Structure 1
Amino acid sequence: MNGLIEIEGMEFYAYHGHFDVEKKVGNRFLVDVRIETNCEAAAKSDQLEDALDYQLVYQIIKEEMKIPSDLLENVCTRILSRLHTTFSEIDLATIKVSKMNPPMGGQIEKVSLTLSL
């Protein structure tokens, strides 16, 4: 039984960016994750130990968001790598990281990067 777990709208304040001001001042980021996995055991047993631990997924993302990076590509790749290392049962994970109000010389709500592994 294939399942899709989505954790959406995680908000973090972090110091990702190429420019010095981004590394000093920081910015607000939104993160969404989609995880495809087999949910059959959890669906039948109704036991947490048979399910993918959503709280641990959040903790991993939170820890990785604390590590400054120049590029969103690096942030997304680190998160996906940790998720796959921690949870062998993941078939596919997709992460979207959005930088709010990026310093691009105009009024821009956000810039986002989505990667899958």
Structure 2
Amino acid sequence: MNIQSSYIFLRNLRFHASHGVLPQERVTGNDYEVSLRIGYDLGRAMRTDDVADTLNYADVYRLVEQEMSVPANLLERVACRMAERLFRTYPAVTSLDLWLTKLNPPMGADADGAGVELHLINDKTD
């Protein structure tokens, strides 16, 4: 069996955080969702059944949680910090798809949210 590609994903992680340009956003905060699709070779873990041979999603969650707790003006910056830290912490990660959504954006619209979506390749794994 040959693996064409493999991923770890965390879907719709929920946080309350203080990101935003408006002063009130820094005071009251907002609710956010983060989803990740992380390219990672799962071949060894599939054979060994050992968590040491995979990307532990509990550890990834803690990393995302830490970055969400650091206020920023722009979601673009928060998403960039997460990506940089994931690639730095886990050099074997080959790619990252990241969605960061502000659930109640202050824009006067009835919406499910607004945010950023990144599709990144780890150029250090080439």
Provide TM-score, normalisation by structure 2: 0.89
Residue of structure 2 in register with 1:82 after alignment:
85
Aligned pair partner of 1:3 in 2, 6, 9: 6
Cα offset, 1:53, TM superposition: 1.2
Cα offset, 1:108, TM superposition: 2.2
TM alignment of 1:17-32, pairs within 5 A: 17-32=20-35
% same residue: 32
Structure 1, unmatched stretches of 5+, are none
Aligned pair partner of 1:105 in 103, 108, 120: 108
- What SS class does the counterpart of residue 38 from structure 1 fall into? coil
In structure 2, distance between residues paired with 1:100 and 1:63: 19
User: Aligned pair count?
Assistant: 117
Name segments (4+ residues, structure 1) moved above 4 Å: none
Matched-pair contact (CA < 8 Å) for 1:80–1:94:
no
Cα offset, 1:103, TM superposition: 0.6
Aligned pair partner of 2:65 in 62, 66, 72: 62
In structure 2, distance between residues paired with 1:24 and 1:81: 27
Cα offset, 1:37, TM superposition: 1.0
In structure 2, distance between residues paired with 1:106 and 1:46: 47
Cα offset, 1:9, TM superposition: 1.1
Residue of structure 1 in register with 2:75 after alignment:
72
Residue of structure 2 in register with 1:49 after alignment:
52
In structure 2, distance between residues paired with 1:46 and 1:95: 27
Cα offset, 1:20, TM superposition: 0.5
Provide TM-score, normalisation by structure 1: 0.96
Q: What is the root-mean-square deviation of aligned Cα atoms in Å?
A: 0.9
Per-residue CA shift, 1:76-114, capped at 9, x if unaligned? 000001100111110001110000111102222200211
